[in-house]
Amino acid sequence: MKNSLVKVETSTGSVFPASFDRTSRCPDEIVRRIRVTVCFEDPHWTGRLLETYDTQTDRFVIAPCTWKWDYLFQHPDWREAFPLRQPRVFERASGSWRRRLVK
């Protein structure tokens, strides 16, 4: 059986074939994957979902976390990615994701 992507219009329940190009993928993929991987050691995330996409505002919000491994060796201080322990926030701009600096 072939896997297919579908788009569901939630207001009507209509289902359509869907395809996504590279620009529509989630931003900051490496940091998001690291966060999912290492969050099991962070007691703040015990029993909580690791959702990053906010459907109400159409933004990605990546909460701070600490990390390891190759990428982590190149960027050893997690505070560089999360200054002042603020999340990484991305908004759509002209069809692609742009990082918004949080103040």
**Which tens digit of pLDDT belongs to each residue from 37-78?**
777 666 776 666 667 788 888 888 887 777 677 777 788 888
Could you give phi then psi for residue 85, rounded to 5 degrees? 60, 30
- Please count the CA atoms within 13 angstroms of the CA of 99 that sit on its side-chain side: 13
Q: How far apart are CA 63 and CA 69, in angstroms?
A: 19
pTM of the model: 0.43
